[in-house]
Amino acid sequence: MHIEQLETPVAVVDLDRLTANITRFQAYLDTHGILNRPHIKTHKIPAIAHMQLAAGAVGITCQKLGEAEVMADAGIQDIFLPYNIVGEAKLARLAQLARRCTLSVTTDSGVTVQGLDAAMRQAGLVLPVLVEFDSGAKRCGVQSPEEAAQLAQLIAGSAGLRFGGLMTYPSSARAAEFAQATTALLAAAGIATERVSGGGTPQMWQAHSFAGITEHRAGMYLFGDRYTINSGALTLEECAFTVHVTVVSRPTAERGIIDGGSKTFSSDLLGQDGYGLILEYPEARITGLSEEHGTVDFTACARRPTIGERLTVVANHCCPVVNLFNQLVGVRGGVVEVTWPVAARGMLQ
Amino acid sequence: MHIEQLETPVAVVDLDRLTANITRFQAYLDTHGILNRPHIKTHKIPAIAHMQLAAGAVGITCQKLGEAEVMADAGIQDIFLPYNIVGEAKLARLAQLARRCTLSVTTDSGVTVQGLDAAMRQAGLVLPVLVEFDSGAKRCGVQSPEEAAQLAQLIAGSAGLRFGGLMTYPSSARAAEFAQATTALLAAAGIATERVSGGGTPQMWQAHSFAGITEHRAGMYLFGDRYTINSGALTLEECAFTVHVTVVSRPTAERGIIDGGSKTFSSDLLGQDGYGLILEYPEARITGLSEEHGTVDFTACARRPTIGERLTVVANHCCPVVNLFNQLVGVRGGVVEVTWPVAARGMLQ
């Protein structure tokens, strides 16, 4: 079936570009001796995770326990969960998961370490735990190398845990410096830092310049979107993910309404101007989204669409868009080859 | 089970408040002789639509064909689909749907009328079609009463269609004026306007002041959120929808990280300051969302939470939040009474 025959809105993956993006970044990391641990938050599809592993990824990254469970169910063996797992119910699930795959997690507090340790001791397991540090993103993470080293020592001294290394987001020169300072402190205390995990797509081609970061977690690199294109990480011609929509109204000479709104594209601007790029009308601007309508200003376009015309949109940020669809359609040369359920979608817990 | 025993993030509906909100607005519309046709885009749950109908709603409103199909499958008889249905595949589905429920749709163009007419004639049906007009929202809709009257006449002259009235969003004095002018033009041409459909939650208690609008479509009125509270449509004490999250990190004295981000709350600011109101810490500010983390600034709070503490968040805009969850939990006095799958979630087509 040709993609033009599918109803809209439909989320489309160009399979040739997907494969090329996976292969190209894997080759780059291989060249520089950096392990690849892609983040499945972008696609949430086990079959695509298996493609990344087949290309050479050492394992995958999930952000929520529920996502990791879906991936383990699909036979994925090595899962990194860079999240503070808190609360008895989640710790019990974590122990269950640790029994059936090679699992590692992160922490940034003694409270979390205590919870992890108790759960793992009760389960008779030893879990590798990495210390998350804040390298400037001002999200989770300890604030100083001293604090990181102290937490690493607490982990190393916990019977149910093993110090698994350091983790931050995103990779940067500052992150590399922080990690080196922590590693030195730990070495002086006789503790080896086996792994330093960095990540991010915008700066992914600079990963080799951040000395001491041993693995990279990128999510968007395999699909791409306006944000990653404008960051320079990939080109428009390499972008593998688009949303096909239909013009359903042309109320004025300049205005067009498409059949996708915030429940199709999300409201995530991610610093971009407008809510997406329309490939057939690059001068057009998606000025607003209500839930199921997108408002497009075609003023700058010499040619303008008619009602019923299909448009191809590059989203601002592919991750939350995928999260709004029940399935993605994989195409090659415009022909549908595969339909993937977004299996880990909505796994918020 | 008590709500505190459920893992987070969890989307919670207070059943007493839900019932009160449904009843109160129905009574208001009844008093003023306005028909109630609630918009299910907010909850997407057939059982809740049935509650609205049992309270006196004349039917429901859906925004997408796929949502309407889910509601028809659940036995709902009267469905309004205020959308331009375009393209052969969707028109075929529309005809199927029209066979099994009392359906009405909208149009704002001759092209759409032609498509609807052809599909209905082929199916041997006569579909009521309302003319959508633009009363200032600058989304879909014809631009003048003259254009509206012309389109109504085109519908009235189509063998597969019946002129069903006028529709706009949202209701306003301007909308009422536009409708009156159109109705007068049509009356002069011998065409009766049986129904004028308006809508919206923020101005819902003014619905009676918009003369000539015969039915009201509100969505958010039954749940509520920061936007509807700040618009004055309901109070914080009437808000029936919250998201429960857990503090998973306290990296600094002022900063806290919760286990819900843009994949829990959406990025929809809807004009609000910050990404939600934390009931236990009303002075706190959710300053940023990444996909699975929310960053909270507790600077203004005398007391501050510890890791593991549960927080109750009133979202900015309930509709896209519900759309991110696979299920909602209904509670009374904190005790879970029901778990509803969000059955029409992701029905983008």
The whole-number pLDDT of residue A172 equals 98
B348 and A41: CB-CB below 8 Å? no
Angle value at C-alpha B240, between B239 and B244, nearest 5 degrees: 100
Q: A324, A325, A301, A305: which is closest to A257 by C-alpha?
A: A305
pLDDT in tens, A305-322: 999 999 999 999 999 999
The whole-number pLDDT of residue A36 equals 98
Neighbours of A75 (CB within 10 A): 11
Question: To the nearest whole percent, how much of chain A has pLDDT over 70?
Answer: 100
Q: What letter does residue B305 receive in the DSSP assignment?
A: P
The whole-number pLDDT of residue B56 equals 98
The whole-number pLDDT of residue A16 equals 98
Non-local (6+) Cβ contacts of B117 within 8 A are B158, B159, B160, B161
A251 and B142: CB-CB below 8 Å? yes
The minimal CB distance from A7 to the residues B134, B307, B349 is found for: B349
Report d(CA B22, CA B102) in Å as an integer.
23
The minimal CB distance from A346 to the residues B255, B291, B324 is found for: B324
Going from the C-alpha of B81 to that of each of A183, B37, B50, B296, the distances in angstroms are 61, 11, 17, 39
Q: A234, A281, A233, A231: which is closest to A256 by C-alpha?
A: A281
Which chain B residues are Cβ-neighbours of A142 within 8 angstroms? 251
Minimal C-alpha gap between B270 and chain A (Å): 10
A346 and B325: CB-CB below 8 Å? yes
pLDDT in tens, A52-84: 999 999 999 999 999 999 999 999 999 999 999
Q: Are B3-9+227-341 and B16-220 equal in CATH topology?
A: no
B63 and A295: CB-CB below 8 Å? no
Which chain B residues are Cβ-neighbours of A82 within 8 angstroms? none
Which chain B residues are Cβ-neighbours of A106 within 8 angstroms? none
pLDDT-based confidence at A3, cuts 50/70/90? very high
Report d(CA A90, CA A102) in Å as an integer.
17
Report d(CA B331, CA B312) in Å as an integer.
14
Report d(CA A42, CA A224) in Å as an integer.
10
Report d(CA B287, CA B295) in Å as an integer.
6
The minimal CB distance from A112 to the residues B7, B307, B319 is found for: B307
The minimal CB distance from B63 to the residues A112, A269, A291 is found for: A291
The minimal CB distance from A9 to the residues B262, B290, B349 is found for: B349
Q: How far out from the chain centre does Cα A27 lie?
A: 19
The whole-number pLDDT of residue B132 equals 98
Report d(CA B303, CA A278) in Å as an integer.
48
Report d(CA A321, CA A324) in Å as an integer.
5
Which chain A residues are Cβ-neighbours of B267 within 8 angstroms? 266-269, 320
| Pairing, β A215-217 against β A35-36 | parallel
- Contact (Cβ atoms closer than 8 angstroms) between residue A35 and residue A216: yes
Q: How far out from the chain centre does Cα B303 lie?
A: 37
The tokens describing B252, both together, are 């600094």
- Contact (Cβ atoms closer than 8 angstroms) between residue B50 and residue B76: yes
B308 and A111: CB-CB below 8 Å? yes
Neighbours of B150 (CB within 10 A): 17
B266 and A264: CB-CB below 8 Å? no
The whole-number pLDDT of residue A321 equals 98
Which chain A residues are Cβ-neighbours of B138 within 8 angstroms? 255, 295
Report d(CA A85, CA B292) in Å as an integer.
13
The whole-number pLDDT of residue B344 equals 98
CA terminus-to-terminus distance, chain B:
36
> How many helices (H) does chain A have, and how many strands (E)?
10, 17
The tokens describing A268, both together, are 């995530």
Quick one: closest CA in A to B286, which residue? A139
Minimal C-alpha gap between B214 and chain A (Å): 24
Q: Is A10 helix (H, G, I), strand (E, B) or coil?
A: strand
Which chain B residues are Cβ-neighbours of A252 within 8 angstroms? 143
Domains of chain B: which residue ranges? Answer: 3-9+227-341, 16-220
pLDDT-based confidence at B200, cuts 50/70/90? very high
pLDDT in tens, A159-176: 999 999 999 999 999 999
pLDDT in tens, A327-348: 999 999 999 999 999 999 999 9
CB pairs under 8 A between A and B: 165
Angle value at C-alpha A140, between A22 and A213, nearest 5 degrees: 45
Which chain A residues are Cβ-neighbours of B252 within 8 angstroms? 143
Q: What letter does residue B47 receive in the DSSP assignment?
A: H
Across the range B37-59, mean pLDDT stands at: 98
Q: A3-9+227-341: which CATH topology?
A: Lyase, Ornithine Decarboxylase; Chain A, domain 1 (2.40.37)
pLDDT in tens, B122-133: 999 999 999 999
What is this model's ipTM? 0.97
The whole-chain average pLDDT of chain B stands at 98
pLDDT-based confidence at B110, cuts 50/70/90? very high
pLDDT-based confidence at A4, cuts 50/70/90? very high
Question: To the nearest whole percent, how much of chain B has pLDDT over 70?
Answer: 100
The minimal CB distance from B292 to the residues A9, A64, A90 is found for: A64
Across the range B8-30, mean pLDDT stands at: 98
The whole-chain average pLDDT of chain A stands at 98
Question: How deeply is A279 buried, as exposed, middle or buried, from its count of CB atoms within 10 A (0-12, 13-18, 19+)?
Answer: middle
What is the second-level CATH architecture of the domain B16-220? Alpha-Beta Barrel (3.20)
- Contact (Cβ atoms closer than 8 angstroms) between residue A342 and residue A326: yes
Neighbours of A302 (CB within 10 A): 7
Across the range B203-231, mean pLDDT stands at: 98
pLDDT in tens, B273-310: 999 999 999 999 999 999 999 999 999 999 999 999 99
Quick one: closest CA in B to A246, which residue? B86
Which chain A residues are Cβ-neighbours of B307 within 8 angstroms? 84, 86, 109, 111-112
Report d(CA A315, CA A319) in Å as an integer.
9
What is the second-level CATH architecture of the domain A16-219? Alpha-Beta Barrel (3.20)
Neighbours of B326 (CB within 10 A): 14
Q: Is A181 helix (H, G, I), strand (E, B) or coil?
A: helix
